[in-house]
Amino acid sequence: MSPLNALGGPPRLLSLVPLVIPLLAQAMNSPWWEDYAIKDRYLCKGQGMLVVERNDAQASLINGRFRTTFFRETSDEPGLRYSGEGMRLILQGDSLTLEHLPHRVECLRVEQV
């Protein structure tokens, strides 16, 4: 397969690649007003690598090009809890649990970004 076919377009589209790549990189950065002070990378069983950006009020889960926003819950349960879009994100130490009941995915922090 030629490089042109791999990119899925005619040669004139290749001239746009240098312009699009920085925009894609920007799309994965949070807007400045969200001020996610904490950014951690997690390795999840069967799911690969995820990034969680968070502050006191909300968290953002990044999986590849996809981002999901969660909002902080008040709870007497241990750990920090965020929920959104039918899912719950639970942080306890180096552990991250993603719940989309009845499914749960366990993840382990591998680094702070």
The Cα–Cα gap between 89 and 20 comes to: 32
Amino acid in position 99: E
Assess whether pLDDT exceeds 80 at residue 16.
no
For the segment 64-92, the average pLDDT, to the nearest whole number, is 92
Question: Is there a single domain that holds both residue 15 and residue 67?
Answer: no
Closest CA to 84 of 106, 48, 59, 51: 59
Mean pLDDT comparison of 19-23, 66-70, 88-92, 108-112, highest-scoring range:
88-92
The answer on 36 and 84 residing in a single domain is: yes
Q: Are residues 63 and 45 in the same domain?
A: yes
Residue 109 in this model has a pLDDT that exceeds 50: yes
Arithmetic mean of pLDDT over the chain:
76
Residues 36 and 85 occupy one common structural domain: yes
Regarding whether 84 and 52 lie in a shared domain, the answer is yes
One-letter amino acid for residue 78 of the chain = P
Asked if residue 42 and residue 22 are part of one domain, the reply reads: no
Percent of the chain with pLDDT over 90: 44
In tens, the pLDDT along 46-77 reads 778 999 999 889 999 998 888 899 999 998 99
Residues 103, 89 contacting (CB under 8 angstroms): no
Q: 8 or 43: whose pLDDT is higher? A: 43
Q: Please check whether residues 9 and 35 belong to one and the same domain.
A: no
Domain residues for 20? Answer: 1-30
* Cβ-based burial of 61 (10 A; exposed 0-12, middle 13-18, buried ≥19): buried
48 and 6 in a single domain? The answer is: no
Rounded CA separation 15/81 (Å): 45
Based on the fold, state whether residues 12 and 49 are members of the same structural domain.
Answer: no
Total domains in the chain come to 2
Structure confidence at residue 39 (pLDDT): 92
